[in-house]
Amino acid sequence: MAEILVDCRGETCPVPLVETRKAIRQAQPGDIIVVVGTHPASREEIPMAVRALGLELLSVEGTETDWTIRIRR
């Protein structure tokens, strides 16, 4: 099991979601994707996409403009 970091701090839509999807495609089952960012809309969009893909959303932490999302592939 690996941990994949996606650092999207300072990026705006759609970059954080696009980068998260790339990481999900590269991840193996059981891998953890850690997404860090600062864009408020992405903090909402990424968890919705994770649920739509049927993946496990482990946590959404931090503030609206400084957050970390953890996803299990």
Which CATH number fits the domain that encloses residue 20? Answer: 3.30.110.40
- pTM for the whole structure: 0.95
Catalytic residue among 2, 13, 18, 41: 13
pLDDT at 62 over 90: yes
Domain membership of residue 22 as a residue range: 3-72
Active site residue 13: yes
CA–CA dist 56, 73 (Å, integer) = 7
| Residue 40 pLDDT grade (very low, low, confident, very high; cuts 50, 70, 90) | very high
CA–CA dist 68, 72 (Å, integer) = 14
Phi, psi of 3 (to 5 degrees): -115, 125
Task: Quote the number of domains for the chain.
Answer: 1
pLDDT, residue 1, reads: 85
What average pLDDT does range 36-57 have in this prediction?
97
